[in-house]
Structure 1
Amino acid sequence: MKHHALAIGLRRALACAALFPASAAWSQTTMPDGSTQAQAKQLDTLVVQGEIAYRNRTDDIEPVLSYDLEYFQRFEPNTVGDMVKRLPSAVFISDIMEYDGVRMRGLDPGYTQVLINGKKVPGAGDDRSFWVDRIPAEMVDHIEILRSNSANRSGDAVAGAINIVLRDAYLFEGSYVRLGANRYYDDEINPTFGAVTSGQALGGRILAGVNVQDRYNAKIKRSDRFNDPSMEERVSWEDQTEVKDGRDYSGNISYTADVGQTGRVNINGFYVKTDRDVTEVSHEVEYDDQDVIESDVPGLNPINQKNWGIGAGYKFDMAGGTTEFDLDHARFEDDSSVIEEKHEYVNGQWDASEAEAQSVDARDTETSLKVAHRRAIGAATELELGVDYRTKERDIAYTNYAWEAEEEGDSVVYELDGRLASVIEEDRLDPYIMFSGRGQRFSWEAGLRYETTQSDITYSEDGEAQGAASKDYNELLPSLHLKWDLTDTDRVSLSLARSVKRPNFNELIPALLDGEYGDNDYLGNPLLEPETAVGIDLGFEHRLGKHGVIGINFFYRDVKDLIELVNTGEPSEDALDGYADDIEDYVEENGVSEEDAIAANPFDPESWVFTSANVGDGKVYGVEFDLSTPLTALGLPNTGVFLNYSYLDSKVDDFLGERRFNNQAKSVYNIGFIHDLPDLAASFGVTYRKQGDAYSRILAEEVTTSYGEDLELFAEKRFGDSFSIRLSAANLLDASKDEFIHKFDNQADQQERDYDEYELETEEAGPRYQVVMRWAF
């Protein structure tokens, strides 16, 4: 960990957090159905910002934190991941300077539901997660943190949900262009470009945006490996450089039009394409008695991924209320590969060369239809009832190749080394009913959602079908939200809700994976039940003047049917190979089959076949605090401060005893400020982030992950009403990611602390600088 004077000074001097630009005022207009709708914001207010934007205080009954793009924009985030990292309880266990799978409240990404425009979308993760660094920041209107479930949303949100709301044609007017460049610590310079336009067309309003940005991240890694944590004997070390170099293409379109006296139709679409090459070059040195074994290990990971979705909605008055139809289709495609060679030298002489490659061909498609009807059933009570239908198909194939040289300098010629493919199909039909009421000081919402799931799984190896399984399960998910406005400035909220986490895809496929955990094999379990959780959120908010807000929230989740690794009691392939002669002797002596001999287990295997099973309960709890306010009371109305802090904890029992949920950071906080200089038409600001250590324990491996401090700043100058230029800098403290890895051959060794290896790994990526120009017209 690095302790810089600047970081220490910030800790003492600041009382703030995630920050960013000015929001334009929204006027209200009456819609054909009698509701109110904000009139279109002028896009030039996103270019030339004369005010500081703060966290929105919403009127939602359920606990929602809302942040406009202007809140983030002055630090020029490249992706939604760059935005989300500044929000309360948002944790990442990614490579340094990478923000892909968000871990709300520190839990695995599969516990967090990521929505785009309120709709579920397929993503890259085997744990059903969506990588938020795939969406450019410029496509976003605002981001919502939904801390608890409501009946009218899918219940896959044990840790909560993040709703990424893209820009909508009805809410924006005008055009602007964004042009910039990023410079990295190794002097690499990459451009970024974005453009947005919106206006009236085709009897309604249209918004279209495009974004092209080069993505680059160069890292230096160092690994030192020892016999055990005493570090008395180093057995090997490795130096590695890694460069992620690519380009993201994205676009979104929105069309909205009024139909008749009460109807409104909207069509929205987005497209994101990631082309990236990850290049690794490693030099390894291993000490084996008197021999020194050196290896050169080049690797290449070409990534070609696409996310796209399109949706249409129609809302109109009917039967004394409002009826809404939503039809959505989204798809994730992955055509990537991983290639690694290894050239080994013993005491300076060539000894061996080998290579492995794996290609991934994945298609994940979801189609959904929602029908909902809302109507008043009293002076202050509303009824909403509806049904969600969703069909999903995840088709993925891994094809492996291998090569081994006979002589030094042989050309690499790959041979097929196996292919594993699977198809997972899920059909869901989820009816729900919800009642809500609003009073002068007290509001409430209560609902029931019944989620039904039918799943079918098939898999094949080397083109031959190996098996199939089906699993159906149903879950009743009640929810209750209460909100008290104690005064005009003080609010208390209470939420009770039941949520669900479906099994990871790789946990469902009943294929045997050799050596997946040390010397132990893994077999998927298609009969897993989903995890469920009963959650409580208790929050308090206080308004500070006109723009400020301070809030604290306590949360608790009681998780049932937790999915963990368990031992099947079957010996692994490695163990069977080691005892092949013993098995043969047992067969001859007892006159039984080989299967019966293995089942009788006449030997003492050191490694096993593990699987996933529903094993028991877990608990997750913590406290979240956030502050967003101008310092008007101190005579500094042009200074805004931002602070959020989350304390996170949990308990779960595994095969070794009690621990926290894997990779849950102990805490995370953001602190920062923005100061505006109206007379100079300029602004500047600083933000600082620190994430607590995270611990993970799985079979044969235990890892503690620690991140250094992250410091960012910006300075901007505005020119007239239509042009601005902004300089921002990230990772100014050159933060490192440090991992402390305990490795074992099997469960028995792990229990007895008989180490196979203890490794220290650290990586750094250096500072990044960005200059961006915006022009509105």
Structure 2
Amino acid sequence: MYISSPIRLTLLAALLASAFPLHAQEAPKKPAGAVAQDKSQPEPAMQKVEVRGTAEGYDPRRDDTATKIVVGQEEIAKYGDTSVADVLKRVPGITVSSPNGRGGEIRMRGLGAGYTQILLNGERAPAGFSIDSLSPDVIERIEVLRAASAEYSTQSVAGTINIVLKKAIRTGQREFKIGARTGGGFDGPTANFQLSDKLGKMSYAIAGSAMYEDFARVIPSDEQAFDAAGTQVLARATRGDEKGRLNLFNLAPRLNWALANGDTLTWQTFVNVARFRNQNHETTDTTLGAQARYPVADSATRSDNDVLRTELNWVHKMADGAKLDVKAGVVGGQNTTTQRRWTPAGAPRRLDTAILNEAEELGATTTGKFSKTLFDGHALAMGWDGGWGVREDIRTETEAGRLVFPALLNGGEQFKAEVSRFAAYAQDEWNLTPRWSVYLGARWEGIRTRATGNTFAASRSSSNVWSPVIQTLWKIPETKGDQVRFAVTRTYKAPGLPQLMPRRQTSIDNRSTDPDFSGNPDLKPELALGLDASYEHYWAEGALVSISGSMRRIDGYTRSQVTFDGARWVAMPMNAGQAITRGLELETKFPLKALMKDAPAIDLRASVSANWSEVDGVPGPDNRLDNQTPLSGNFGIDYKKGDLTTGASLAWRQDATIQVSERQVAFLKGRRDLEAYALYKFTPKQQLRVALSNILGEDFVNRQIFLEQDRLVVRNLRFPAGPSVRATLELKF
């Protein structure tokens, strides 16, 4: 359903605000307004707490009506990871898909590419920011929301991952970590620090990290082709000698002032700097068929990315427990990437191309929330979320130092895009009985995009989406720890800026399997109706067994359509048809003492996720949505004795065949990622953490099949990746 006017939005929000108190109540045992609170802000000094009926502490996984998993600092730091992706691959229901061993796409329900929403302090990360460049040491917690909530953007078809930066103020905290990694072709040191203290009514905290890593490896690949009769007509083998380095730096300072009447004012800034360098020398040997266009070629990539984000947050306490939370921020960033490819002197066909991309972005955001506990324990919240941003991009392509595309544009291809967005929401939670709570929410989001450039006509795009949400939690009577959850949500996936820009991006070797790309300003959001249901059984302290199922029906599914314009092959995204995805997940975790009274301090955990999907317009079988992982699992064990803590984890995913289009098939190689760690405390302030990664030494393998006019082409690519070890010395002062 589309809402065409912000005025209608205001009226709808007002109606919801007045109607919800008649149908909702706050869940006992958690802080008043817990569902409506800003997860990125500290709790007020004074809280209203209701007793849920047991002496146990508040557990968001168990007690919140809106289902979520919270990964705390202890779990984040356990394996001494250097990237957030490495942390998340051990979380139930999450997989990390990496084509080459560096970074990876974070996926919920096996879906990425915009279906899984990644937030930083409750807001979308700025364009160009890579989650791989964020150090886990500057993170306080990670919240995983399997079903949408009105407070956050509903661009979360698969779910939401909210990364909350460190904000807790601890008196006199001084922490420093220094470590190093080696193995698997990657080597380099890391350093992290955390400082915080209080000075009267002011408190401060600053967290920072730095990492240097260099790498070198040999990357083999091969290409084979077969004619219509099945006879092999091409055989090529390529060797790539790659080397490079990566530098990362994070800094997150924070100041907090306690004002009169219990108000607080907080200033927080986040600085991220990334530098990447890469060189590759390729040699191709053809034993059957035509020689490669460039049998010997060199390439180099240089990328610099900087992001600065600063915000001011005012929390005002009002009468009767009401609270107003207002935040305003500014974000800026720049990215410069140079890609060069050339052949050595004397080559049969000369090549010397260079592509320079320079991008700058500036934006402003504002959010606000009014929350209040009303009669009968209603936790009501209303708020807004708005932002504006402008991005300027210059792309220059040269051949042997001469401009080749676009022709006659001495200043390069230039474009400018302005994006404005606004959202308003209302939500309420109500305990109808001590065992039954209901969450109701509604959110309206509008996005406007305007693009201008010197190689295409100016374009405008707009979309408005209305998202109602309902979730409920029922604790089964006459049971101690059995409960059932159910949710109905309306979510969407907005097209990204590159998909909307009508400019042409050319490929060097244009063909049907490597076409040019052009955006589509008429592209509309993909709309999804979601159903989630789960059963949870808490049978001892820290012990859980759950089974959950989900379904998403996606209308206006976006797929790339490749056509020939008379001169070149061109791919363009189009809204075409419908997609259906279903999922089933099993999870358990428990201390061994829950089974044996005198058992050692061993904690066990396991989860298995299965996903199915079909896409209209792509012939089956295996016409899966977004290269979806069909089956994956996580298994882990932790043991503690005295000053030693140790454990191991196995992240596993199954092989899969994906029918990408009528002409392309992809194969997802299964993977077993075994890790282990040991933490030894010399003193309460000195400890050593050692972790082993990729113990099984599995490589990263990519395989694709293309139907290329009158022949079938098979391409295989392997990125070697052996075991690696990380050691970190952690000191507190």
Instruction: Kindly indicate whether the alpha-carbon contact (under 8 Å) linking 2:536 and 2:547 is maintained by their aligned counterparts in 1.
Output: yes
Query: Could you list the per-position Cα deviations for residues 492-522 of structure 1 after superposition, in whole angstroms to 9, with x for gaps in the alignment?
Result: 2111111111112222111234437437544
Specify every segment of 5 or more residues in structure 2 that has no aligned partner in the other structure, as ranges: 1-41, 51-58, 407-411
Equivalent in the alignment of 1:424: 417
Q: Which amino acid aligns with 1:684?
A: T
Q: Secondary structure at the match of 2:193?
A: strand
Q: Partners in 1 of 2:290 and 2:125 — Cα distance?
A: 55
Cα deviation, residue 256, structure 1: 2.5
Equivalent in the alignment of 1:614: 575
Query: Could you list the per-position Cα deviations for residues 509-561 of structure 1 after superposition, in whole angstroms to 9, with x for gaps in the alignment?
Result: 11234437437544321011111111111122222422233322211111111
Q: Could you say if the C-alpha distance between residues 58 and 276 of structure 1 is closer, same or farther in structure 2, counting changes exceeding 3 Å?
A: farther
Q: Partners in 2 of 1:429 and 1:30 — Cα distance?
A: 26
Q: Could you say if the C-alpha distance between residues 179 and 56 of structure 1 is closer, same or farther in structure 2, counting changes exceeding 3 Å?
A: farther
Instruction: Kindly indicate whether the alpha-carbon contact (under 8 Å) linking 1:707 and 1:737 is maintained by their aligned counterparts in 2.
Output: no
Q: Secondary structure at the match of 2:351?
A: strand
Equivalent in the alignment of 1:182: 181
Equivalent in the alignment of 2:628: 664
Instruction: Kindly indicate whether the alpha-carbon contact (under 8 Å) linking 1:93 and 1:663 is maintained by their aligned counterparts in 2.
Output: no
Q: Could you say if the C-alpha distance between residues 517 and 423 of structure 1 is closer, same or farther in structure 2, counting changes exceeding 3 Å?
A: farther
Q: Partners in 2 of 1:643 and 1:210 — Cα distance?
A: 33
Greater CA deviation, 437-446 or 529-538? 437-446
Q: Could you say if the C-alpha distance between residues 185 and 333 of structure 1 is closer, same or farther in structure 2, counting changes exceeding 3 Å?
A: same
Q: Which residue, 738, 756, 759 being the options, matches 2:715?
A: 759
The answer to whether structure 1 residue 437 and structure 2 residue 430 are counterparts is yes
Equivalent in the alignment of 2:313: 313
Instruction: Kindly indicate whether the alpha-carbon contact (under 8 Å) linking 2:271 and 2:307 is maintained by their aligned counterparts in 1.
Output: yes
Instruction: Kindly indicate whether the alpha-carbon contact (under 8 Å) linking 2:103 and 2:132 is maintained by their aligned counterparts in 1.
Output: yes
Q: Which amino acid aligns with 1:442?
A: W
Equivalent in the alignment of 1:132: 131
Instruction: Kindly indicate whether the alpha-carbon contact (under 8 Å) linking 1:384 and 1:433 is maintained by their aligned counterparts in 2.
Output: yes
The answer to whether structure 1 residue 369 and structure 2 residue 366 are counterparts is yes
Q: Partners in 1 of 2:105 and 2:356 — Cα distance?
A: 22
Alignment: residue pair count: 666
Q: Which amino acid aligns with 2:646?
A: F
Equivalent in the alignment of 2:36: none
Q: Secondary structure at the match of 1:154?
A: coil
Q: Which amino acid aligns with 1:501?
A: K
Q: Tell which has more relative contact order, 1 or 2 (C-alpha 8 A, sep 6+).
A: 1
Q: Which residue, 645, 666, 676 being the options, matches 1:683?
A: 645
Instruction: Kindly indicate whether the alpha-carbon contact (under 8 Å) linking 2:634 and 2:649 is maintained by their aligned counterparts in 1.
Output: yes
Equivalent in the alignment of 2:603: 640
Equivalent in the alignment of 1:199: 197
The answer to whether structure 1 residue 693 and structure 2 residue 655 are counterparts is yes
Q: Could you say if the C-alpha distance between residues 491 and 259 of structure 1 is closer, same or farther in structure 2, counting changes exceeding 3 Å?
A: farther
Equivalent in the alignment of 1:71: 75
Q: Which amino acid aligns with 1:259?
A: L
Q: Partners in 1 of 2:204 and 2:374 — Cα distance?
A: 36
Q: Partners in 1 of 2:275 and 2:135 — Cα distance?
A: 14
Q: Partners in 2 of 1:293 and 1:155 — Cα distance?
A: 47
The answer to whether structure 1 residue 146 and structure 2 residue 132 are counterparts is no
Equivalent in the alignment of 1:81: 85
Q: Partners in 2 of 1:501 and 1:123 — Cα distance?
A: 16
Q: Partners in 2 of 1:88 and 1:696 — Cα distance?
A: 27
Q: Secondary structure at the match of 1:261?
A: helix
Q: Partners in 2 of 1:760 and 1:30 — Cα distance?
A: 52
The answer to whether structure 1 residue 458 and structure 2 residue 455 are counterparts is no
Greater CA deviation, 638-647 or 526-535? 638-647
Specify every segment of 5 or more residues in structure 1 that has no aligned partner in the other structure, as ranges: 1-28, 38-54, 125-129, 404-412, 575-607
- Cα RMSD of the aligned pairs, angstroms, is 2.6
Q: Secondary structure at the match of 1:98?
A: coil
The answer to whether structure 1 residue 395 and structure 2 residue 378 are counterparts is no
Q: Partners in 1 of 2:138 and 2:397 — Cα distance?
A: 37
Instruction: Kindly indicate whether the alpha-carbon contact (under 8 Å) linking 2:665 and 2:704 is maintained by their aligned counterparts in 1.
Output: yes
Q: Which residue, 523, 541, 544 being the options, matches 1:528?
A: 523
Q: Partners in 2 of 1:513 and 1:210 — Cα distance?
A: 38
Cα deviation, residue 62, structure 1: 0.7
Greater CA deviation, 496-505 or 305-314? 305-314
**Equivalent residue runs for 1:18-37 within 5 Å:** 31-32=44-45, 34-35=47-48
The answer to whether structure 1 residue 485 and structure 2 residue 502 are counterparts is no
Q: Could you say if the C-alpha distance between residues 82 and 202 of structure 1 is closer, same or farther in structure 2, counting changes exceeding 3 Å?
A: farther
Q: Partners in 2 of 1:776 and 1:72 — Cα distance?
A: 18
Equivalent in the alignment of 1:704: 667
Q: Could you say if the C-alpha distance between residues 290 and 268 of structure 1 is closer, same or farther in structure 2, counting changes exceeding 3 Å?
A: closer
Q: Partners in 1 of 2:371 and 2:416 — Cα distance?
A: 38
The answer to whether structure 1 residue 360 and structure 2 residue 357 are counterparts is yes
**Equivalent residue runs for 1:85-100 within 5 Å:** 85-100=89-104
Q: Partners in 2 of 1:290 and 1:66 — Cα distance?
A: 56
The answer to whether structure 1 residue 539 and structure 2 residue 537 are counterparts is no
Q: Which amino acid aligns with 1:281?
A: H
Q: Secondary structure at the match of 1:70?
A: helix
Q: Partners in 2 of 1:538 and 1:219 — Cα distance?
A: 46
Q: Partners in 1 of 2:726 and 2:416 — Cα distance?
A: 43
The answer to whether structure 1 residue 629 and structure 2 residue 590 are counterparts is yes
Instruction: Kindly indicate whether the alpha-carbon contact (under 8 Å) linking 1:199 and 1:205 is maintained by their aligned counterparts in 2.
Output: yes
Instruction: Kindly indicate whether the alpha-carbon contact (under 8 Å) linking 1:101 and 1:132 is maintained by their aligned counterparts in 2.
Output: no
Q: Partners in 1 of 2:184 and 2:576 — Cα distance?
A: 47
Q: Could you say if the C-alpha distance between residues 238 and 104 of structure 1 is closer, same or farther in structure 2, counting changes exceeding 3 Å?
A: same
Q: Which amino acid aligns with 1:147?
A: R
Instruction: Kindly indicate whether the alpha-carbon contact (under 8 Å) linking 2:264 and 2:315 is maintained by their aligned counterparts in 1.
Output: yes
Q: Which residue, 730, 741, 759 being the options, matches 2:693?
A: 730
Q: Secondary structure at the match of 1:82?
A: helix
Q: Partners in 2 of 1:189 and 1:292 — Cα distance?
A: 34
Q: Partners in 1 of 2:43 and 2:168 — Cα distance?
A: 17
Instruction: Kindly indicate whether the alpha-carbon contact (under 8 Å) linking 2:96 and 2:104 is maintained by their aligned counterparts in 1.
Output: yes
Equivalent in the alignment of 2:440: 446
Equivalent in the alignment of 2:26: none
Equivalent in the alignment of 2:65: 61
Q: Which amino acid aligns with 1:135?
A: L
Equivalent in the alignment of 1:272: 272
Q: Partners in 2 of 1:238 and 1:30 — Cα distance?
A: 57
Equivalent in the alignment of 2:375: 378
Cα deviation, residue 110, structure 1: 1.1
Q: Which amino acid aligns with 2:311?
A: G
Q: Partners in 2 of 1:231 and 1:215 — Cα distance?
A: 45
Q: Partners in 2 of 1:185 and 1:146 — Cα distance?
A: 33
Cα deviation, residue 137, structure 1: 0.7
Q: Could you say if the C-alpha distance between residues 385 and 244 of structure 1 is closer, same or farther in structure 2, counting changes exceeding 3 Å?
A: same
Instruction: Kindly indicate whether the alpha-carbon contact (under 8 Å) linking 1:294 and 1:344 is maintained by their aligned counterparts in 2.
Output: no
Q: Could you say if the C-alpha distance between residues 415 and 395 of structure 1 is closer, same or farther in structure 2, counting changes exceeding 3 Å?
A: closer
Q: Could you say if the C-alpha distance between residues 735 and 692 of structure 1 is closer, same or farther in structure 2, counting changes exceeding 3 Å?
A: same
Greater CA deviation, 139-148 or 202-211? 202-211
Equivalent in the alignment of 1:14: none
Q: Which amino acid aligns with 2:63?
A: D
Q: Partners in 1 of 2:292 and 2:65 — Cα distance?
A: 66
Instruction: Kindly indicate whether the alpha-carbon contact (under 8 Å) linking 1:455 and 1:471 is maintained by their aligned counterparts in 2.
Output: yes
Q: Which residue, 110, 118, 131 being the options, matches 2:114?
A: 110
Q: Partners in 1 of 2:292 and 2:317 — Cα distance?
A: 79
Q: Partners in 1 of 2:60 and 2:561 — Cα distance?
A: 45
Instruction: Kindly indicate whether the alpha-carbon contact (under 8 Å) linking 2:238 and 2:283 is maintained by their aligned counterparts in 1.
Output: yes
Q: Could you say if the C-alpha distance between residues 100 and 519 of structure 1 is closer, same or farther in structure 2, counting changes exceeding 3 Å?
A: closer
Q: Partners in 1 of 2:327 and 2:512 — Cα distance?
A: 44
Q: Secondary structure at the match of 1:81?
A: helix
Cα deviation, residue 415, structure 1: 4.4
Cα deviation, residue 774, structure 1: 0.5
Q: Partners in 1 of 2:491 and 2:146 — Cα distance?
A: 12
Equivalent in the alignment of 1:572: 566
Equivalent in the alignment of 2:490: 498
